[in-house]
Amino acid sequence: MSDLLRDFKKFTSRQIIKAIQNNEQESRKEWMLGIFKKSGEANSRNSEYQFWRQDNQPMKLYSGPFTFQKMNYIHQNPVEAGIVEQAEDYLYSSAKDYILQKKCGLLEVSFI
């Protein structure tokens, strides 16, 4: 699982950085790339940019309660970051879908 996560992060970070660099209409380009570059310089394992955190570990979702604990953690991330006051207010979250038990958000949700 660690190899899968490593490869996923490597591939997606390169694609996201390239998409930001090539998007002429992205008004936050310099700001975002500056943050990623500063993070990359602070990590000796990176050559230029760092998009993903280094400290997260893959975990097998071995039970229903454990899965819902992790899902709640993910839903609360925008709240903890001060982006929204309630998890269901975050545009890209499935929190509202789970609260109302129906499709509400922008992304397709397969309920567990």
pLDDT digits (tens, 9 = 90+) for 35-81: 999 988 888 777 789 999 887 777 889 999 999 999 999 999 999 99
Predicted local distance difference test score (pLDDT) of residue 78: 95
Question: Of 70, 73, 75, 97, whose CA–CA distance to 86 is shortest?
Answer: 75
Distance CA 49, CA 32 (A): 10
Predicted local distance difference test score (pLDDT) of residue 79: 96
Q: Is the pLDDT of residue 102 over 90?
A: no
- Tokens found for residue 58: 């893959």
The verdict on 67 and 17 lying in the same domain is: no
The verdict on 10 and 53 lying in the same domain is: yes
User: How many domains, in total, are found in the chain?
Assistant: 2
Degrees to nearest 5, angle at CA 106 with 77 and 9: 55
Cα distance from N-terminal residue to C-terminal residue, the chain: 21
The verdict on 70 and 101 lying in the same domain is: yes
The verdict on 107 and 73 lying in the same domain is: yes
Predicted local distance difference test score (pLDDT) of residue 77: 95
The verdict on 42 and 91 lying in the same domain is: no
- What is the extent of the structural domain holding 88? 59-112
The verdict on 85 and 72 lying in the same domain is: yes
Predicted local distance difference test score (pLDDT) of residue 84: 95
Predicted local distance difference test score (pLDDT) of residue 42: 86
The verdict on 53 and 76 lying in the same domain is: no
The verdict on 109 and 65 lying in the same domain is: yes
Predicted local distance difference test score (pLDDT) of residue 67: 93
Distance CA 104, CA 98 (A): 9
Helix (H) or strand (E) holding 38: helix 29-41
Predicted local distance difference test score (pLDDT) of residue 49: 92
pLDDT > 70 in the chain, percent: 100
Asked if 49 and 13 count as a contact pair (C-beta separation under 8 A), the reply is yes
The verdict on 78 and 96 lying in the same domain is: yes
Predicted local distance difference test score (pLDDT) of residue 44: 79
Question: Of 73, 38, 78, whose CA–CA distance to 56 is shortest?
Answer: 73
The verdict on 18 and 7 lying in the same domain is: yes
The verdict on 45 and 69 lying in the same domain is: no
Predicted local distance difference test score (pLDDT) of residue 100: 86
Of the residues 16, 40, 58, which one is the last residue of a structural domain? 58
